[in-house]
Chains A and B, each alone.
Chain A
Amino acid sequence: MWFRTIFRRNRPDRPRRLWRVAGVNRPAGPLFDEAFLRRIERMSLQAQRTLRGNPASGEHPSQRRLPATIFSEHRPYSSGDDVRYVDWNAYARQNQVLVKLGEAEQDVNVHLLIDASRSMTLGSPSRLRLAQQLVGALGYLALAHSDRLHIVPFGPAALRPFGPAQGKARVIEMLRFVEAITPQPETRLGAVLERYGRLHPQGGMLVVCTDLLAPDSLEQGLRALAPPRWQTLVLHLLDRHELAPTLRGPLELEDSETGQRLLLTLDDETLRAYQRHVHSWREAVARLCARRGIGYAAVMSDWPLEQQVIPYLRARRLLS
């Protein structure tokens, strides 16, 4: 009956979306072309020296001093040392058997966590698409520089990961994995980070691409990813419509993940309050990350990857 429209149940059936859904079910082309990969190949991830890595390979500096041909300092010979690194000249001068120590290079574990929740799919371009491009690019750098790469999409929990993988031979596989990431109904960012930190006590370089729109405590997760074992960077993906909505009037806002509704009448005063709230929220996240020694970088979803995001990350010393 016609009057039932008054009593119509609020069903999540094709509601109007503030942000367009993109890159979820329809192909949006490759993440980037081969030329782009060649251009960024000369860059590398800038891992901290404090990270624990495997000195067998890799190009990242390590805190460890190992017997090496490249002299850095001496130490007394001890049983078991390789006699090839004994500095016989110093033995001749000082009459003490010394072993030459040099700086060790290492590979690091690169953990790329990508928020695959439904909230990442909204916007144009979608944040999930930008996250996939970022993870693909960073993963390519990790593989190209012999780091051990872990790519973990997550929603309410960590999903099937990619890796650990090492070597450029895994690039195609990695890119396919990234492209195949599908949105998840919701996200538990804090819990996922906390659990991930416990499962990987060795630590490593960790980049989280997320919109930070999760109900649980981010601080709890970041506590498990604190330096020095972890070099963590939170890439906060933002949409301009989220920062400055263009909505007006009586609205029924629907949460894209939970379906929860909120009746709201938006006017200038309410929007100003919203923008103040978003700004303070971003400030709080940045302070939290700074307090935990974790890097924080806000990335707008409409920034071009090569022209704006990559330089931004270089400026933030993630890339070198």
Chain B
Amino acid sequence: MSILAPLGLLALLALPVIIVLHMLRERRRRVVVPSLLLWQQLPQQRAARRRRRPPLTLLLLLHLLAAALLGFALARPQWSLASFGAERHLALVIDTSASMAAPAPGFSGSRLDAARARARTLIGSVGARGSTTLITAGPQARLLDAAGPEGAARLAAALAGLSASGAGSDMAGALTLAETALQGRAGGQIVVLTDAALPTLAAELGGRPVVVPIAWESLGGPLDNRALLTLAARPRAGNGPVHVYARVANYGSQPLRTVVRLAGDERVLDSRAVNLQPDGEVELTWTVPRGMTLLRAELDGEDALPADDVVALSLVQNRPVRALLVAAQPTALERALRAVPGLDLELVSPADYRGSTADLTVFDGVLPPAWPAGGVLVVHPPAGSPLLSVSATPRTPAEPALSVSPAGSALFDGVSLNTVEFGAAPDLAPPERAALLLARGDQPLIASWRSETSTIAVWSFDLAQSNLTTRLAFPLLVARTVRELTPPAPPAALLAGAVVELRPDPRATTLELTAPDGAITRIAVTPGAPARFNPGQPGIYTLAERAGARLLYEGRIAVNAGAAFESDLRPQSLPGPVAPPALSGTEGAANRPLWPWLAAVALLVMLGEWFYVHGRRAPGLAEG
């Protein structure tokens, strides 16, 4: 039973008022006597004494009953089918963010352990006709499992597999999942088990309509914590030194002193003592020599949440590219390719070309019998190849204005083509799936598309007939084309729990991700589609791209747990128990209003009171 308007219970104050009124004005049986002359001088003391006690009459009981019923009706009580052993469906939303790994107050374990224990209790409380839905509120909300009492063991196993990882709690998404799971079910309730370390909860849930009752249970307590929030470097590659920036925060009420150690490729570079004020932050900078691939900073000592005391950063900006140039007379194109950082170029004549296993294959004036796997750049393709339809006669359109399509904006961003003369070029007929990047009038000049395991770009013009090679735009255009045709380097660092899309080598069939704890996750690569990666644990992940058994690339990804919205372990105020507004139809059947019944009974009582009062005054009752 629940009460929607508790203030209505104030109407029960009418009960003592009614008793007082009955005491003051005791209703007496009225009797007509011939005269009062004989009665007026009788002693009245006993009558006065009686007035001090409430007269226990049927009329008083009827009045009290009617007032009590109306008072309860004003409070708008509701009764739930669950109160009578009917269906009860529970959706447990468990916060699995990294802060749940902190110790729980009054519990020998982490906050997540306390949430597990509480969840097991709640699962056991669901009746035989009920069900439980497990939902985790990590950086992404996930529906773990749903089962009735017969699946309690399965739910327990799912609970045991939970781990506190990832920065942030998608509480809004988790509640949406829970509401969806409970939709159309009577007696549904959402119970949120969290440590309340959710600084952005109010903003996330602000104005969110409530359709299912929500009970918030806080498992956290006030805990001080310190964290390494940021580690950044500039530049990440190049020949000069690398400037490193770090930010340390103290989420506590006491000042503290700690040591920050910086290591490069597992070699300690510096140790620096810092003083942190309560709720304060300290920014640190270093200059480290170039050539390192991985930086790691850590705080000395221990605190409530060790995961955010370490932060790492990958300094690898570009992945190495093995390129093969197939050209009869390599000229300016060779020079431009060799200028691309990280590119290892091999030259081969068209006659010697037997296929390519390089990451990028460049054809200048020739076309292979079949597209090689990986990136392919074709410059000035000849006519007559079945791979590509090119006109035999070059021409210059009557209207030679250049036009860059939106797909080519990234390629030509900041590149001036005003003085570039492309000369006569054959008409190119790229496949329908190709994206036209640059056109001159009605004549395509640059197009790009994907073909199974190849990423292909075609420059239709002849570099020898063009003055492009003499312009500053040429090496830039070549470098950007290489970047577009080859996969990018993995991100330098990720926030634990964040979902990233990796663009693997087009030849890759499998991605292997080795977590810091050694667990390997294999992701099948769909050609042309990015691979989604969601690292839960903080630490260094190893990424391996494979084409069958062949290793195409291996790199490292740094995943960090420190974040301003996650490392502050102090509990925030949670919303109170929230009940949905009165609903109609199927959804409203969960809670049924009781006040109409109370009002009806009160009406019947009042009718009975009316008959009682007026029936007593009937003339037939006169006695002889």
Which A residues lie at the B interface, using CB under 8 A? 2-3, 5-8, 10, 13-21, 118-120, 122-124, 211, 213, 215, 239, 242, 247, 249-258, 260-265, 267, 269-270, 273-274, 277-278, 281
Query: With A253-B39, A254-B32, A281-B38 in contact, is A6–B609 under 8 Å at CB?
Result: no
Q: Which residues of A contact B624 (CB under 8 A)?
A: 19-20, 124
Q: Which residues of A contact B399 (CB under 8 A)?
A: none
Q: Which residues of A contact B40 (CB under 8 A)?
A: 262
- Report whether B42 and A255 are in contact in the complex, using a CB–CB cutoff of 8 Å: no
Q: Which residues of B contact A118 (CB under 8 A)?
A: 34
Q: Within the complex, which residue of B30, B63, B617 is in contact with A3, where a contact is CB–CB below 8 Å?
A: B63
CA distance A211 to B623 in the complex (A): 20
- Report whether B46 and A265 are in contact in the complex, using a CB–CB cutoff of 8 Å: yes
What are 16 A-B residue pairs whose CB atoms fall within 8 Å in the complex?
A2-B606, A6-B22, A118-B34, A123-B34, A250-B28, A252-B29, A252-B30, A253-B39, A258-B36, A262-B36, A262-B40, A263-B28, A264-B47, A265-B50, A269-B43, A270-B43
- Report whether B41 and A277 are in contact in the complex, using a CB–CB cutoff of 8 Å: yes
- Report whether B38 and A247 are in contact in the complex, using a CB–CB cutoff of 8 Å: no
- Report whether B29 and A16 are in contact in the complex, using a CB–CB cutoff of 8 Å: yes
Q: Which residues of B contact A119 (CB under 8 A)?
A: 34-35
- Report whether B31 and A247 are in contact in the complex, using a CB–CB cutoff of 8 Å: yes
Query: With A16-B621, A263-B47, A264-B39 in contact, is A242–B29 under 8 Å at CB?
Result: no
Instruction: List 7 tightest A-B contacts by C-beta distance, closest first.
Output: A119-B34, A265-B47, A213-B35, A252-B28, A15-B30, A17-B32, A2-B606
CB distance from A176 to the nearest CB of B (A): 27
Q: CB within 8 Å of A: which of B11-38?
A: 18, 21-22, 25-38
CB distance from B66 to the nearest CB of A (A): 6
Query: With A2-B63, A2-B606, A6-B21 in contact, is A254–B29 under 8 Å at CB?
Result: no
- Report whether A211 and B34 are in contact in the complex, using a CB–CB cutoff of 8 Å: yes
Q: Within the complex, which residue of A5, A10, A263, A278 is in contact with B613, where a contact is CB–CB below 8 Å?
A: A5
CA distance A211 to B37 in the complex (A): 12
B157: CB under 8 A from chain A? no
In the complex, besides A2-B63, A5-B27, A255-B33, 8 extra interface pairs with C-beta distance below 8 angstroms are A19-B34, A20-B624, A21-B622, A239-B34, A255-B32, A256-B32, A278-B38, A281-B38
CB distance from B105 to the nearest CB of A (A): 54
CA distance A281 to B37 in the complex (A): 10
Q: Which residues of A contact B44 (CB under 8 A)?
A: 264-265
CA distance A239 to B618 in the complex (A): 24
CA distance A260 to B40 in the complex (A): 11
Which B residues lie at the A interface, using CB under 8 A? 18, 21-22, 25-44, 46-47, 50, 55, 59, 63, 66, 606, 609-610, 613, 617-619, 621-624
Q: Which residues of A contact B63 (CB under 8 A)?
A: 2-3, 5-6
Query: With A252-B28, A281-B38 in contact, is A15–B617 under 8 Å at CB?
Result: yes
CA distance A36 to B494 in the complex (A): 129
Chain A minimum-CB-distance residue to B616: A16
Query: With A254-B33, A256-B35, A263-B47 in contact, is A16–B623 under 8 Å at CB?
Result: yes
CA distance A2 to B602 in the complex (A): 11
Q: Which residues of B contact A242 (CB under 8 A)?
A: 33-34, 38
- Report whether B31 and A14 are in contact in the complex, using a CB–CB cutoff of 8 Å: no
- Report whether A16 and B22 are in contact in the complex, using a CB–CB cutoff of 8 Å: no
Q: Which residues of A contact B21 (CB under 8 A)?
A: 6-7
CB distance from A191 to the nearest CB of B (A): 16
Q: Which residues of B contact A123 (CB under 8 A)?
A: 34
CA distance A270 to B50 in the complex (A): 14
Q: Which residues of A contact B55 (CB under 8 A)?
A: 250
Q: Which residues of A contact B66 (CB under 8 A)?
A: 2
CB distance from B325 to the nearest CB of A (A): 102
Q: Which residues of A contact B41 (CB under 8 A)?
A: 277
The interface centre, meaning the residue of A13, A18, A281 with most chain B CB atoms within 10 A of its CB, is A18
CA distance A8 to B614 in the complex (A): 12
CA distance A273 to B27 in the complex (A): 24
Chain A minimum-CB-distance residue to B37: A213
Q: Within the complex, which residue of A15, A255, A273 is in contact with B35, where a contact is CB–CB below 8 Å?
A: A255
Query: With A16-B621, A20-B624 in contact, is A250–B30 under 8 Å at CB?
Result: no
- Report whether B39 and A274 are in contact in the complex, using a CB–CB cutoff of 8 Å: yes
- Report whether B42 and A122 are in contact in the complex, using a CB–CB cutoff of 8 Å: no
- Report whether B31 and A273 are in contact in the complex, using a CB–CB cutoff of 8 Å: no
Q: Which residues of B contact A6 (CB under 8 A)?
A: 18, 21-22, 25, 27, 63
Q: Which residues of A contact B42 (CB under 8 A)?
A: 264, 270, 273-274, 277
CA distance A280 to B85 in the complex (A): 75
CB distance from B342 to the nearest CB of A (A): 92
Q: Which residues of B contact A18 (CB under 8 A)?
A: 31-33, 623
CB distance from A2 to the nearest CB of B (A): 4
CA distance A305 to B97 in the complex (A): 108
CB distance from A252 to the nearest CB of B (A): 4
CA distance A20 to B21 in the complex (A): 33
CB distance from B224 to the nearest CB of A (A): 62
Query: With A262-B39, A263-B47, A265-B47 in contact, is A250–B26 under 8 Å at CB?
Result: yes
CB distance from B22 to the nearest CB of A (A): 7
Q: Which residues of B contact A262 (CB under 8 A)?
A: 36, 39-40
Q: Which residues of A contact B30 (CB under 8 A)?
A: 10, 15-16, 251-254, 261
CB distance from B94 to the nearest CB of A (A): 53
- Report whether B610 and A2 are in contact in the complex, using a CB–CB cutoff of 8 Å: yes
Chain B minimum-CB-distance residue to A3: B63
- Report whether B47 and A250 are in contact in the complex, using a CB–CB cutoff of 8 Å: yes
Q: Which residues of B contact A252 (CB under 8 A)?
A: 28-31
CA distance A21 to B537 in the complex (A): 101
- Report whether A213 and B619 are in contact in the complex, using a CB–CB cutoff of 8 Å: no
CA distance A107 to B21 in the complex (A): 67
Q: Which residues of B contact A253 (CB under 8 A)?
A: 30-33, 36, 39
Chain B minimum-CB-distance residue to A119: B34
CB distance from B620 to the nearest CB of A (A): 10
CA distance A215 to B38 in the complex (A): 11
- Report whether A249 and B29 are in contact in the complex, using a CB–CB cutoff of 8 Å: yes
The interface centre, meaning the residue of B26, B35, B46, B622 with most chain A CB atoms within 10 A of its CB, is B35
CB distance from B20 to the nearest CB of A (A): 10
Q: Which residues of A contact B37 (CB under 8 A)?
A: 213, 215
Query: With A2-B63, A16-B621 in contact, is A251–B28 under 8 Å at CB?
Result: yes
CA distance A215 to B34 in the complex (A): 12
Q: Which residues of A contact B621 (CB under 8 A)?
A: 16
CA distance A298 to B306 in the complex (A): 113
CA distance A113 to B623 in the complex (A): 30
- Report whether A17 and B38 are in contact in the complex, using a CB–CB cutoff of 8 Å: no
CA distance A251 to B27 in the complex (A): 8
Q: Which residues of B contact A270 (CB under 8 A)?
A: 42-43, 46
Q: Which residues of B contact A13 (CB under 8 A)?
A: 617
CB distance from A11 to the nearest CB of B (A): 10
Chain A minimum-CB-distance residue to B613: A5
Q: Which residues of B contact A261 (CB under 8 A)?
A: 30
CB distance from B118 to the nearest CB of A (A): 50
Q: Which residues of A contact B38 (CB under 8 A)?
A: 213, 242, 274, 277-278, 281
CA distance A7 to B36 in the complex (A): 24
- Report whether B622 and A16 are in contact in the complex, using a CB–CB cutoff of 8 Å: yes
CA distance A118 to B35 in the complex (A): 9
- Report whether A5 and B29 are in contact in the complex, using a CB–CB cutoff of 8 Å: no
Q: Which residues of B contact A21 (CB under 8 A)?
A: 622
CA distance A226 to B220 in the complex (A): 108
Chain B minimum-CB-distance residue to A243: B38
Chain B minimum-CB-distance residue to A250: B28
Q: Which residues of A contact B619 (CB under 8 A)?
A: 14
CA distance A211 to B34 in the complex (A): 9
Chain B minimum-CB-distance residue to A278: B38
CA distance A28 to B39 in the complex (A): 31
The interface centre, meaning the residue of A5, A20, A261 with most chain B CB atoms within 10 A of its CB, is A5
CA distance A5 to B619 in the complex (A): 19
Q: Within the complex, which residue of A239, A251, A269 is in contact with B31, where a contact is CB–CB below 8 Å?
A: A251
Query: With A213-B37, A251-B30 in contact, is A14–B43 under 8 Å at CB?
Result: no
